[in-house]
């Protein structure tokens, strides 16, 4: 205790000298009030220090985990980049930009209101028989020379209407239009 008293007096004396050199005046009453508050809140200070120690321990424990998560994320992003996902999503953003530039909010609302009908139509169009019919139509169209279409007179058209292919084609069109009218009336 005697040694501690000597060290304390020496530290106090040096502190007073340093404060005097710095031109700092210490209010004794304020210092006494601060000391009393410090002693009164010693339990709060201890709790705060315990909390700091816990935070420090948590940071020490979590740092390797966070580092590994970061490394795993970088590795996964590199893998996605190598597979082409990054470039793919970059191009998808261009699609979204085009949609935003060319459609209004009202267009999107109308799309939302009609999405079930649109999806039902797409579902119907992707059935094997419908895809085959569409594919046949595309093949026939591609095989046509649209620049050199022959001209037909009324008499030549009448003669063509009597061929089995035209009779079958007209039967298809008439049946298609009749069924379309029935659907519209339902």
> How confident is the model over 60-83, as pLDDT tens digits?
999 999 999 999 999 999 999 999
DSSP string, 108-166: HHHHHHHHHHHHHHHHHHTSHHHHHHHHHHHHHHHHS-TTSPPP--HHHHHHHHTSHHH
Q: Among 31-35, 139-143, 160-164, where is mean pLDDT lowest?
A: 31-35
Q: What is the mean pLDDT of residues 33-49?
A: 91
Q: Where do the domains of the chain lie?
A: 105-144
> How confident is the model over 115-133, as pLDDT tens digits?
999 999 999 999 999 999 9
**DSSP secondary-structure letter at 41?**
T
User: Could you tell me if 130 and 124 are in contact, meaning their C-beta atoms sit under 8 angstroms apart?
Assistant: yes
């Amino acid at each position: 205790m005697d040694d501690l008293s000597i060290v304390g007096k020496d530290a106090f004396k040096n502190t007073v000298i340093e404060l005097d050199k710095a031109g700092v005046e210490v209010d004794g009453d304020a210092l006494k009030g601060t000391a009393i508050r410090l002693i009164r809140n010693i339990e709060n200070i201890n709790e705060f220090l315990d909390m700091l120690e816990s935070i420090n321990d948590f940071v020490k424990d979590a740092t390797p985990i966070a580092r590994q998560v970061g490394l795993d994320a970088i590795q996964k992003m590199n893998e996605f980049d190598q597979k082409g996902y990054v470039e793919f999503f970059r191009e998808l953003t261009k699609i979204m930009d085009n949609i935003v530039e060319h459609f209004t909010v009202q267009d999107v609302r109308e799309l939302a209101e009609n999405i079930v009908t649109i999806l039902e139509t797409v579902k119907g169009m992707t059935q094997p028989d419908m895809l085959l019919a569409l594919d046949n139509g595309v093949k026939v169209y591609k095989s046509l020379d649209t620049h050199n279409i022959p001209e037909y007179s009324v008499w030549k058209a009448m003669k063509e209407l009597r061929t089995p292919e035209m009779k079958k084609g007209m039967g298809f069109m008439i049946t298609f239009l009749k069924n379309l009218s029935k659907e519209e009336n339902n």
